[in-house]
Amino acid sequence: MPVVTIHLMTGYDAATRRRIGTALTNAVAGVIDAPPEGITVMMPEMDPASYMRGGAPRQPGAPRPDPAELVRRFLETMEARDLDAARAMLAPGFTMTFPGAQRMTTLEELVAWSKPRYRFVRKTYERFDSLQDGQTAICYCFGTLSGEWLDGTPFDGIRFIDRFEIEGGRFTRQDVWNDMAEAKARSA
């Protein structure tokens, strides 16, 4: 069974080491037909003072934020309509695409677009799937929508998937798919 060794400078917390171990296990399982329990990841630590590159001592890189935690916080911030806090999480050039290929670049556009569709919507999360592609973190969020149509009729159990791209801890892109149009047609 595969054994992966990565040398880390001392100082990474347990949560960061756990994320590294999970990511390496998943990377190996994606290439080699091995069950996760058969993949060993070893992370010996070394004193940063004993490491040099180019003749100069180096410091360990900071851990990236967990993409799933960023996505959850962003979606909860949007649900609370705290647009200033949500806007602070967006990178310059942020774009979002919603059902019907509706492309928007500001949160205000999203609020205006949703206004004639429903009174409010809430998300129930089933799962978050994250991966890294170079400097871009990609996170998929799966779950169901509940809320109220404009006439006050409640709805729930509507499937959704959101896909986010994150660079430097800020959102660069969001793509949204859901069954809201189908559910609305059934309720009419």
Q: Is the residue at 62 inside a domain? A: no
pLDDT at 185 over 90: no
Token output for 5: 């060794």
The burial of 150, by beta-carbon neighbours within 10 Å (0-12 exposed, 13-18 middle, 19 or more buried), is given as exposed
What is the number of domains present in the chain?
2
pLDDT greater than 90 at residue 186:
no
pTM (two decimals): 0.84
Band of pLDDT at residue 55, cut at 50, 70 and 90: confident
CATH of the domain at 159: 3.10.450.50
**28 and 118 housed in the same domain:** no
User: Mean pLDDT over all residues of the chain?
Assistant: 92
Percent of the chain at pLDDT > 90 equals: 73
Residue 122 · residue 79 · CB < 8 Å? yes
Q: Mean pLDDT throughout 8-37?
A: 90
Percent above pLDDT 70 for the chain? 99
Average pLDDT over residues 118-144: 95
Q: In the predicted model, is pLDDT for residue 78 greater than 80?
A: yes
Q: Residue 49 is part of which domain span?
A: 3-57
Of 75, 81, 82, 43, the residue nearest 60 (C-alpha): 43
pLDDT at 187 over 80: no
Q: Are residues 111 and 175 in the same domain?
A: yes
Kindly tell me if the per-residue pLDDT of 177 is higher than 90. yes
